[in-house]
Amino acid sequence: MEDLIKRIESIFKVLKKERGKRDNLWIIEVEKDSLHAVLSYLKDNESFKHLALVSCVDWIENNKFQLSYILWSYQKRQNLIVKIFIDRDKPEFKTVLNLFPQAEIYEREIRELYGVSFEGNPTQNEDFVLEDWEEMPPMRRDFDTLKYSQEKYGDRDSEVQKTNIRKIISDFTDEWRRK
Amino acid sequence: MKDNKYFLDDKPDKISYSEVWQKFFNWARAKSLWVVAYGTGCGSIEIPPMVTSRFDAERFGVSTVGTPRQADVLIISGYLAVKTLKRVIRVYEQMQSPKYVVGLGACTVNGGMYYDSYNTVNLVELYIPIDVYVAGCMPRPEAILAGFAQLMKKIKEGRADGWKHYLDNFEQYRKNQEKIIKNWKIPNYNW
Amino acid sequence: MWIWYKVLYALIVVIGGLAYGLLLGGISRKITARLQGRRGPSVFQNYIDLIKLIRKRTAISHGVMFFLAPMFRLLGGIGVLLLVPIIANNTALSNFSFGGDLIVVLYFMVFGCLGMALGAADSGHPHSALAPTRGLAQMAGYELPFLLSVIGLAIAHNTVSLSNLVAAQQGGILHWNLFQYPFLSIAGLIAMLGMYMAYPFSVVMAPQEIAVGPPTEYSSTFLSFMFTGRSIFGVGKYVLFMDLFLGGATNLVEAFVKTFVLFLFVVFISNVFPRYRTEQAVRFFWTYPLVIGLIDFIRIFIK
């Protein structure tokens, strides 16, 4: 797997590399302009033919969105995660539909849940799971789900509302871990 | 055809019977509950054990049918997203009265563990009338059968009148539904 | 005066047939449950279902044919039950059987199915429009061996009257058509399985596949009519097959026993077989029962 990373490094600029939790899982970070070239190289020359997932992470502290492209090679039985960072204020990127057709549905999902638009994806504005959503995309971290839920679906009047149930659960698990 | 927005054709008028007949019909209704086989949430996984050999709901006259037209009972099995609620209301309005709704699990009572989710309806009671709640996350098939026994008791006593409430307060229910459902059109991918 | 007695007897036969048919349905549900290791509903469950269905309300409308279809179904059922003699040459229970009743019965057996197909196709639901196409295809399948056996018996006994057919089978168990013409009987009984849409040939209703088939859009009173029609039609067909193959009946107890045996035959077969697809069912009907039936058919001609 290190050889592979070295080969990538010899061609492209790799900003950061790290080993995942398994031997056959590596994570590399590349510049966002070179992503298509990297994916194309990996697909054509290194047998990473399968795009398993496109996911998005909201780094609100750094004002960035992270897009991760998780690739799998059937021959080598290796996972490679290629990640890029895009600006949070201007959430736009180009689609990878020409390389991996299955990216269509993932990009639609990210468009709906994070508001990142993918230029060149024809179906990205269709509904994925939410129908008629009008608010800010719900998976962004500055979206207050509790407040939204209370306003839209009505307040449930019970003790659970008043107590912070998440804190109770995390306290409990902390205590359990300390033992 | 009326406006496509309303799936309920019209309000059936109320016929009054003498008390003996009413009791007799209520007894028959309680003894023969047909459940529409429509799973809305994670609780739908508890329905197959309930109607098959292990728990055998058919011995109480509870059997499943494949179409809402012939069904008496709609089981809301777990959390409802806005998207699912739209379909549930459509199924509910396709059913012919008298019809009853059983809410399964904590999510139907008050949102359960999804109380702060952006897409889960907290109080299902606001949108369709629920006759019997079965609490639990998820309730076991025994609990569902106990809920059905409760429903039968209510029907026999003539107290399971959620559908009457729905017809009487139709405008109010519709207002509540339209507060969260903006567009009643169901997209093509449903086929 | 005579005609009023006839009407009275007909009413008794229809009501009795309905009660018996519903009871058979309940027993069938009970047997299925016991075979699956369940307790099952009570045998009177179908009566309760019927009462409930009659008192359900309905706001559905799909045009005239939609409303008429349950009536056709009911008429087909009553027509069959009233034309076959339950006990031949009995004033009360020979019903409206006459010289050529076999031909009219054959017509009535198709009548209900066709009415049902028209109404279901009118209801606009894709499932209920799909089911009649399957049902009519399957009907083309089972009608062939059934007609072969019926025509074979008619030629063999030189009559198209059910009463004469019953009379020809009297005088001991070996005079029954089941033993006189065993291959024709096998063809007819297999066709009967198809008529009841019992399990190997249940693709029309196909409960897990296309909801409930033709009556998908029907509810409340319409469904109760259909339920009634199906029960009466079922009893009528059992009586017809009893007259054709099992030598008819000379008293009511014998009629009950013989129809019950036929009913058990259908129920037990339907509980142990999986479902054929439409074209498999048609292919099956047009090969095995047809060839088996032809053996006797040729024998009749040579004789």
Is 60 exceeded by the pLDDT of residue A40? yes
Query: pLDDT for B51-101, tens place per residue?
Result: 888 888 888 889 888 888 888 899 988 888 888 888 888 888 888 878 899
pLDDT at residue C296, rounded to an integer = 86
Of A130, A132, A160, the CB nearest to B115: A160
Mean pLDDT of A70-77: 90
Inter-residue contact A50 to A73 (CB < 8 Å): yes
- Residue B3: pLDDT band (50, 70, 90) is very low
Is 60 exceeded by the pLDDT of residue B49? yes
pLDDT at residue B1, rounded to an integer = 37
Query: By the CB < 8 Å criterion, does A169 face chain B?
Result: no
Q: Do chains A and C touch (3 or more CB pairs under 8 A)?
A: no
Query: pLDDT for B115-143, tens place per residue?
Result: 888 888 888 888 888 888 888 888 888 99
B96–C57 C-beta distance less than 8 A: yes
Helices (H), ranges, C123-181: 126-157, 162-168, 177-180
Domains contained in chain C, number: 1
pLDDT at residue A177, rounded to an integer = 66
pLDDT at residue A163, rounded to an integer = 59
- Beta pairing partners, A26: A19, A80
**Reduced 3-state DSSP string for chain B:** CCCCCCCCCCCCCCCCCCHHHHHHHHHHHHHCEEEECCCCCHHHHHHHHHHCCCCCHHHHCEEEECCHHHCCEEEEECCCEHHHHHHHHHHHHHCCCCCEEEEECHHHHHCHHHCCCCCECCCHHHCCCCCEEECCCCCCHHHHHHHHHHHHHHHHCCCCCHHHHHHHCHHHHHHHHHHHCCCCCCCHHHC
Q: Do chains B and C touch (3 or more CB pairs under 8 A)?
A: yes
C38–B56 C-beta distance less than 8 A: yes
- Structural element, H or E, at residue A170: helix A165-178
A122: which residues sit within 8 A by CB, 6+ positions away?
Answer: none
Is 60 exceeded by the pLDDT of residue A158? no
pLDDT at residue C73, rounded to an integer = 85
Helices (H), ranges, chain C: 2-35, 45-54, 64-83, 101-122, 126-157, 162-168, 177-180, 182-195, 220-245, 252-272, 278-302
Which pair of tokens denotes residue C227?
């339920």
Q: Which residues in B lie closer than 8 A to residue C41 (C-beta atoms)?
A: 58-61, 63
At how many degrees (to 10) do helices C126-157 and C101-122 cross? 170
Is 50 exceeded by the pLDDT of residue C217? yes
Of B9, B53, B69, the CB nearest to C38: B53
Mean pLDDT of A127-133: 80
**Could you tell me the sign of the dihedral formed by the alpha carbons of C97, C101, C106, C108, in that order?**
negative
Instruction: For C60, name the nearest residue in chain B, comparing CA atoms only.
Output: B9
pLDDT at residue C263, rounded to an integer = 92
Q: Which residues in A lie closer than 8 A to residue B183 (C-beta atoms)?
A: 131-132
Where are chain B's structural domains? Answer: 33-182
Least confident stretch, A59-73, A155-169, B159-173: A155-169
B28–C220 C-beta distance less than 8 A: no
B154: which residues sit within 8 A by CB, 6+ positions away?
Answer: B131, B132, B160
Q: Which residues in B lie closer than 8 A to residue A127 (C-beta atoms)?
A: 187
pLDDT at residue B84, rounded to an integer = 86
Chains near B (3 or more Cβ pairs under 8 Å):
A, C
Residue with the bigger pLDDT between C28 and A172: it is C28
Q: What is the ipTM of this complex?
A: 0.85
Domain with C185 in it: 2-302
Q: Which residues in C lie closer than 8 A to residue B2 (C-beta atoms)?
A: none
C61 CA to centre of own chain: 29
Which pair of tokens denotes residue B189?
């991918």
- Residue C47: pLDDT band (50, 70, 90) is very high
- Residue A156: pLDDT band (50, 70, 90) is low
Helices (H), ranges, A46-156: 103-113, 145-153
pLDDT, averaged across chain B: 81
Chosen CATH of B33-182 out of 3.40.190.10, 3.40.630.10, 3.40.50.2000, 3.40.50.12280? 3.40.50.12280
Q: Which residues in B lie closer than 8 A to residue A138 (C-beta atoms)?
A: 118-119
Is 80 exceeded by the pLDDT of residue C206? no
Is 80 exceeded by the pLDDT of residue C252? yes
Binding-site residues on chain C for chain B (CB distance < 8 A): 29, 33, 36-42, 45, 48-49, 51-52, 55-61, 127, 207-208, 210-212, 215-220, 223
The dihedrals phi and psi of C214, each to the nearest 5 degrees, come to: -50, -45
CA angle A123, A124, A128 (to 5 degrees): 95
The dihedrals phi and psi of A14, each to the nearest 5 degrees, come to: -100, 120
Give me the domains of chain A, ranges plus CATH numbers: 2-130 (3.30.460.80), 144-179 (no CATH)
**Burial readout B34-71 (b: 16 or more C-beta within 10 A, e: otherwise):** bbbbbbbbebbebbebbbeeebbbbbbbbbbbbbbbbb
CA angle C190, C195, C201 (to 5 degrees): 75
- How far is C272 from C202, CA to CA, in rounded Å? 13
- Residue B188: pLDDT band (50, 70, 90) is low
- How far is C118 from C115, CA to CA, in rounded Å? 5
C32: which residues sit within 8 A by CB, 6+ positions away?
Answer: C40, C267, C271
